[in-house]
């Protein structure tokens, strides 16, 4: 360790985080990763992806620790997917901006916002434990990311982490993020430190502005930093943590949820097509048509509150 702190890593290459248009050439074929903002996964997209895995790959959908999805053993040539596989993946709806596919890395508290089935309180879904619904914040952040051509040059490992105040993602390292303090205000996370307080309405724009500042300060070339914490000087003036910040929460256990539905573990070998079809059917039956992939390699399946 140097007198001023830990030594920064010396990069000698650009990051190689895989995507659909930049697959990873593994021994068994091409590996692709599909980003899910906040883990949100439409049931129809899960069905379509299971078909792609079954028709062209190992027949399994794998989950990552960032709540994304991977397929393995896909055919291709010269480091690119076979055209019929690429077209099938595009039809899943999980590639809304090909130019930005590698940078849509937005992790969100999985249970934020309404998560229950059709028969919560007075027939409405319920939210349990969080201080704010961050689904609109995540959607706005994703929209701003995809609207800015320059942000497509963010490193593929650059990560936004949004904690809705329950503390479930507080221990997750990030480049930029926030923690909700109440329904209107959050404190920004900047690298390994804390940034200013900000209104949730303003937070997507503030996070994008900081991402643009990161690009300004990192430079270019193979030695450019991948992460905010690797910059030679802080991205913002340091701010002390707000006393209203939550304590870190443990990972969400598997099993039934108090707001309805359940947290289903996914084995290391991934989801096969029949299992994926069954999970999608549950989501349709619950009236939401959507599942949420969690950072603990599980899937939130909606259902009626008990």
Q: State the CB neighbour count (10 A cutoff) for residue 40.
A: 21
Inter-CA distances, 214 with 108, 122, 155, 262, Å: 21, 46, 11, 38
Least confident interval from 9-13, 99-103, 184-188: 9-13
In the chain, % of residues over pLDDT 90: 83
**pLDDT score, position 128:** 64
Q: Is the pLDDT of residue 277 over 80?
A: yes
**pLDDT score, position 184:** 97
pTM of the model: 0.92
**pLDDT score, position 115:** 61
- Phi–psi pair at 87, nearest 5 degrees: -65, -40
Reported as a pLDDT band with limits 50, 70 and 90, residue 14 is: low
**Domains in the chain and their CATH numbers?**
24-98+258-301 (3.90.480.10), 107-230 (3.30.413)
**pLDDT score, position 118:** 39
Least confident interval from 11-20, 77-86, 117-126: 117-126
In the chain, % of residues over pLDDT 70: 90
Residue with tokens 């959908």: 61
Half-sphere exposure of 163 (CA within 13 A, CB side): 24
Q: Which two tokens stand for residue 80?
A: 């690119």
d(Cα 43, Cα 246) in Å, to the nearest integer?
32
User: Looking at residues 267-279, what average pLDDT do you find?
Assistant: 97
**pLDDT score, position 116:** 45
Tens-digit pLDDT profile for residues 219-271: 888 889 999 999 999 999 989 999 999 999 999 999 999 888 999 999 999 99
User: Looking at residues 68-95, what average pLDDT do you find?
Assistant: 96
């Amino acid at each position: 360790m140097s007198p001023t702190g830990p030594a920064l890593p010396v990069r000698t290459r650009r990051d190689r985080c895989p995507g659909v248009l930049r697959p990873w050439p593994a021994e068994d074929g091409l590996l692709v990763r599909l980003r899910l903002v906040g883990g949100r996964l439409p049931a129809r997209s899960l069905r379509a992806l299971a078909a792609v895995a079954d028709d062209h790959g190992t027949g399994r959908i794998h989950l990552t620790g960032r709540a994304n999805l991977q397929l393995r053993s896909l055919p291709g040539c010269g480091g690119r997917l076979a055209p019929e596989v690429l077209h099938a993946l595009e039809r899943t709806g999980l590639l809304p901006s090909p130019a930005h596919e590698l940078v849509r890395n937005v992790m969100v508290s999985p249970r934020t916002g309404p998560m229950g089935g059709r028969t919560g309180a007075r027939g409405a879904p319920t939210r349990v434990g969080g201080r704010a619904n961050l689904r609109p914040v995540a959607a706005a952040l994703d929209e701003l990311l995809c609207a800015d051509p320059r942000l497509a040059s963010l490193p593929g490992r650059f990560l936004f982490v949004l904690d809705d105040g329950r503390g479930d993602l507080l221990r997750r390292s990030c480049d930029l993020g926030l923690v909700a303090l109440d329904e209107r205000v959050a404190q920004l996370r900047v690298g390994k430190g804390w940034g200013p307080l900000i209104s949730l309405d303003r937070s997507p724009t503030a996070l994008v502005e900081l991402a643009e500042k990161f690009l300004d300060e990192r430079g270019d070339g193979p030695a450019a930093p991948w992460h905010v914490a690797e910059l030679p000087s802080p991205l913002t003036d340091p701010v002390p943590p707000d006393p209203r910040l939550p304590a870190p929460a443990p990972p969400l256990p598997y099993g039934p949820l108090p707001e309805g539905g359940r947290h289903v573990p996914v084995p290391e070998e991934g989801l096969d097509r029949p299992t994926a079809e069954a999970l999608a059917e549950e989501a349709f039956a619950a009236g939401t048509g959507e599942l949420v992939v969690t950072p603990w390699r599980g899937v939130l399946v909606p259902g009626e509150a008990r």
